[in-house]
Structure 1
Amino acid sequence: MNFIEKCLSGDAFADEIDDAVEAWSEGVEGQDLELNEFLGMTVDEYSAWMTSPSILPWIVSAHRNQRTLAQELECDRIKMAARASKPREAAQMKKWLEKIGKL
């Protein structure tokens, strides 16, 4: 079970992602997987998370709702900007979405 699946089943909280990354880095779990696979993220989701860690709840929500991250963000675009911990973070996310052609 990957990290996103653990979040969805209630076996992990989103704020435990650093522990999951550490377990992967130390070879405790997921040695045969790329980090994004171990976490349960697509390459685009992983890239977004690396750019803006506060995007993680939207990634989990996208999986819960069986949507792409772009679809999830489109459904919640205004709230995302309001909830960004810093204006710069919201600007970075907007730039990334424009770069991948989602805005």
Structure 2
Amino acid sequence: MSNFIEQCLAGLALPDDIDDFVDSWHDGDSKVSLHRYLGMSKSEYSLWVADPGVLPYIINAHYFGRDVSEILGEVEALPLAARSDGPEKALKLMRWLKREGMWE
């Protein structure tokens, strides 16, 4: 079975379906950690837990084969008027994880 991120990239799942995947993980007996079950790195999972609004950026990073920190950095560089609901909490957490040496 493919993970949540892979299914999103294949057009088989939507970002809003993530709660169903989390429920399936809890209901099942998977030996895989939740972040792996979802298809995220530990860092991406930490960002998502802190700010669920960062999920589209994580999916985008996987689509383009880039680190989510690059995608978030590009969003941060946009003029304020060009940003929607920017991922400010996720950016702060990402910086902290990097400072603490916990960013994968």
Distance (Å, rounded) in 1 between the aligned partners of 2:91 and 2:61: 18
How many residue pairs get aligned? The number is 95
- The TM-score with structure 2 as length reference comes to 0.81
Deviations 1:76-102 (A, max 9, x none): 2256x73337xxx72x22321220238
Where relative contact order (Cα < 8 A, 6+ residues apart) is larger, the structure is 2
TM-score between both structures, scaled by the size of structure 1: 0.82
> Which shifted more, 12-21 or 66-75?
66-75
Runs of 4+ in 1 over 6 A off after TM superposition: none
Residue 91 of structure 2: aligned partner: 94
Uncovered stretches (5+) of structure 1, i.e. residues with no partner: none
Aligned runs of 1:5-20 on 2, under 5 Å? 5-20=6-21
SS in structure 1 at match of 2:61: helix
How many percent identity over aligned positions?
34
Matched, 1:71 2:73: no
1:50 maps onto 2:42 in alignment:
no
What RMSD, in angstroms, separates the aligned Cα atoms of the two structures? 2.0
Structure 2: gaps spanning 5 or more residues: 100-104
